[in-house]
Amino acid sequence: MYTSDELSRVSFIVMREMRLPLITLLTVYSVAIFGMVSIPGPEIDGERAYLSIFHAFYFMTYTATTTGFGEIPFEFSDGQRLWAIVCLYVSVVTWFYALGSIVRLFQNEFFKRAVDELRFALSVNRIGAPFYIICGFGDTGSVLVRGLNDAGMHAVVIDENVERIQALKLRNYKTSVPGLYADASVPKHLLEAGVTNQFCKAVVAITNKEDVNLKISAVARLLNPDVGILTMSKVDVFEETLATLGGEVHIVDPFKTFAKVLNACINNPAFYALNNWLVGDKGATLQSYVHPPVGGWIICGYGRMGMEANHVLTMNGVETAVIDPHARKKEEEVATYIIGSANAKTLNKAGIANAVGLLAAADDDGQNLSVLLNARSLNQNLFTIVRQNSHQNELAFAKADADMIMQPTLVTARKILLLLIAPLLKHFFRYLLAKEPGREKLLEHVIKSLREKIGDKKPLLVTIDFTREKSSAVIQCLDAGEHVLIGDIISDPRNRDRDLDLMVFVIRSAGKEVVLPAREHKIREGDQLLFCGTAYAKQLLKSTLNNEYTLHYLRTGKFKLSSYFTQWYARKFTKA
């Protein structure tokens, strides 16, 4: 636990700021009480009365709160009253000084930062389930945290922007998401976020600075050699360095990811539709396919996205023309390279009249939208792909009605989310895209089955771990020497003759991945299963995995007697 250091830091700041006010208060009260007990009071029964230390302290206490209880336990002498007047004025001034110090303490930036870090560390330590550390809460981090939260997973956020952390506290998440305003590349803050915690599964570095992502990844690897690392990188040099960190490292490049999606869209529109539908892309369906036309294409902006897209288009035999304000070293890869801004003049020079497609790939949203409008005014039949850099411009891009919108932050978030909640999905995709006979028909069969089982409902990708903690009923059967089949657990508890609204994609068993396993596949302890289904099907399946009576019914078709009375009655009836 890292909270002890933060608690010590908070205590140190409090004592440093409040040391003098506390000493002053103690001194004033000590002198006042000493005077009150030393000054003689009135004569009572022929003897001089004196206040005890307790009564003197009591008198100073209730007068400090401006509460008047009178002179107790007896009326004071004039000397005591004179001393009380002096003490009251001095103590009031002292209390004003102390209260002012307290106000300054709570306004102290170092104190507020220390308290925030202590609260954050305590919140992280209270998480008793696997969680992920998200470094960066921009557009990518926001989408990723929402996806993890919807999937029932825990996340911890660190960001250098205080406004983003404040916005995090206002989100309506299903589970609490602790957030800290700090630099995630500082080891202390990663420790506060629980990087060495046994439940920490991975550190996700998705800030908007390449060097910061690299440092976060390196520091996380040094602090915890076993933790997974997922980082966003758009620069080849940083990607090469990240690949040498060792351990489990996933490097997500949104432009390379988009290039793969574009290639799949050209060569396998059905797979592109399936991928978009699974990741929850707006408007994505399994009924309609997007097929970019083959012919002349114009690429406006030759940065990383433009280069990756040009490589894919050229690889598929598409002739491209590039418009970019800067000269590039890789001009030789492009048949037509025009240096300048993308306007009507340069678009005409690039052959916009005969082009079939346009890619607006600049890093400025306003520029991309203006290019799109100019191009459509010159050729209304263009297939358009546009890059959206900021999520805040979503409404404008939705009105632009482009055929494809590439948002780097969204591409990155979805790729990382799939790696976290559905690590087996890559094996499923690799199997479907393999260049083997019959795979196209298999893909169509998968899409048809998903249409029938899920339809217009939101698809959920769910990973099931067959462990004692998460699948107790299944493990109990296996311990008893009984077999549990995939067909048993995916049957509907309401009617075991039909299946739930889900489709099993992959099961990892004994270190091997089996894609689209048969219903007769036997489940083993430690297996991991990935399926796609509805939220209700997920709920029923997880209930089955942990309910021995439901599982017994689905396996045998008979109800397992639960109470002692019914078991006794059944034994007696059977013997009879």
Of residues 5 and 272, which shows the higher confidence score? 272
Instruction: In whole angstroms, give the CA distance from residue 307 to residue 310.
Output: 5
Query: What's the pLDDT tens digit per position in 278-297?
Result: 887 777 788 777 888 888 89
| Spatial contact of 358 and 298, defined as CB atoms under 8 Å apart | yes
Query: What's the sign of the alpha-carbon dihedral 6, 9, 15, 18?
Result: negative
User: Residue 165 carries which side chain, given as an amino acid letter?
Assistant: I
pLDDT at 384: 92
Local structure of 560: helix, strand or coil: coil
Which tokens hold the place of 442? 């298999």
pLDDT at 241: 67
Whether the bond into 73 is cis, omega within 30 of 0: yes
Instruction: In whole angstroms, give the CA distance from residue 91 to residue 76.
Output: 19
Q: What average pLDDT does range 559-568 have in this prediction? A: 57
Which tokens hold the place of 92? 């009031």
| Spatial contact of 465 and 201, defined as CB atoms under 8 Å apart | no
Work out the pLDDT band at 564, boundaries 50, 70, 90: low
Which tokens hold the place of 339? 């240096």
Residue 565 neighbours by CB under 8 Å, 6+ apart:
none
> Residue 312: which H helix or E strand, with range?
helix 304-315
Residue 243 pLDDT exceeds 70: no
pLDDT at 571: 53
**Most confident of the ranges 15-29, 127-141, 229-243:** 127-141
Of residues 2 and 168, which shows the higher confidence score? 168
Instruction: In whole angstroms, give the CA distance from residue 8 to residue 446.
Output: 58
Burial annotation 86-106 (CB, 10 A radius, 16+ → b, else e): ebbeebeebbeebeebeeebe
> Residue 512: which H helix or E strand, with range?
strand 512-515
Give the β-pairing of 383-387 and 357-360.
parallel
pLDDT at 523: 93
- Using a pLDDT cut of 70, give the percent of the chain over it: 91
Measured in degrees and rounded to the nearest 5, phi and psi for residue 254 equal -60, -30
- Using a pLDDT cut of 90, give the percent of the chain over it: 27
Instruction: In whole angstroms, give the CA distance from residue 501 to residue 493.
Output: 12
Which of 11-20, 89-98, 190-199, 397-406 has the weakest average pLDDT?
Answer: 11-20
pLDDT at 569: 47
Residue 273 neighbours by CB under 8 Å, 6+ apart:
284, 285, 286, 288, 289, 290, 447
Q: What average pLDDT does range 527-541 have in this prediction? A: 92
User: Can you give the pTM of this predicted structure?
Assistant: 0.79
Structure-token match 């078991």, residue found: 567
Q: What average pLDDT does range 117-127 have in this prediction? A: 88
Query: What's the pLDDT tens digit per position in 370-388?
Result: 999 999 989 988 999 999 9
Residue 570 pLDDT exceeds 50: no
Local structure of 350: helix, strand or coil: coil
pLDDT at 576: 44
pLDDT at 41: 84
Q: How far is CA 202 from CA 136, 197, 232, 477, in A?
A: 14, 11, 14, 32
pLDDT at 561: 58
Q: What average pLDDT does range 524-529 have in this prediction? A: 93
pLDDT at 49: 87
Residue 126 pLDDT exceeds 60: yes
Q: Identify the DSSP state of 344.
A: H
- Ordered structural domains, the chain, with CATH: 3-110 (1.10.287), 127-252 (3.40.50.720), 256-421 (3.40.50.720), 436-556 (3.30.70.1450)
pLDDT at 239: 59
Q: Identify the DSSP state of 454.
A: T
Q: What average pLDDT does range 546-568 have in this prediction? A: 73
Residue 405 pLDDT exceeds 80: yes
Residue 408 pLDDT exceeds 70: yes
Query: What's the sign of the alpha-carbon dihedral 499, 505, 509, 512?
Result: positive
Residue 188 pLDDT exceeds 50: yes
| Spatial contact of 32 and 55, defined as CB atoms under 8 Å apart | no
Which tokens hold the place of 179? 């957030």
Residue 486 pLDDT exceeds 50: yes
How long is the chain?
576
Nearest to 110 by CA among 250, 10, 227: 10
Instruction: In whole angstroms, give the CA distance from residue 242 to residue 334.
Output: 30
pLDDT at 157: 94
Nearest to 528 by CA among 556, 508, 505, 503: 508
| Spatial contact of 1 and 125, defined as CB atoms under 8 Å apart | yes
Work out the pLDDT band at 244, boundaries 50, 70, 90: low
Q: How far is CA 106 from CA 179, 331, 474, in A?
A: 20, 60, 54
pLDDT at 102: 84
Residue 33 pLDDT exceeds 70: yes
What angle in degrees, to the nearest 10, is found between the helix axes of 109-125 and 78-107? 70
Query: What's the pLDDT tens digit per position in 251-269?
Result: 888 888 888 888 888 888 8
- 171 CB neighbour count, 10 Å cutoff: 12
- Mean pLDDT for all residues in the chain: 85
Residue 108 pLDDT exceeds 90: no
Work out the pLDDT band at 367, boundaries 50, 70, 90: very high
Q: Identify the DSSP state of 333.
A: G
Structure-token match 């890093």, residue found: 363
| Spatial contact of 287 and 295, defined as CB atoms under 8 Å apart | no
Q: What average pLDDT does range 146-160 have in this prediction? A: 90
Work out the pLDDT band at 359, boundaries 50, 70, 90: very high
Query: What's the pLDDT tens digit per position in 413-467?
Result: 888 988 888 889 989 988 988 888 888 899 899 999 999 999 888 888 999 999 9
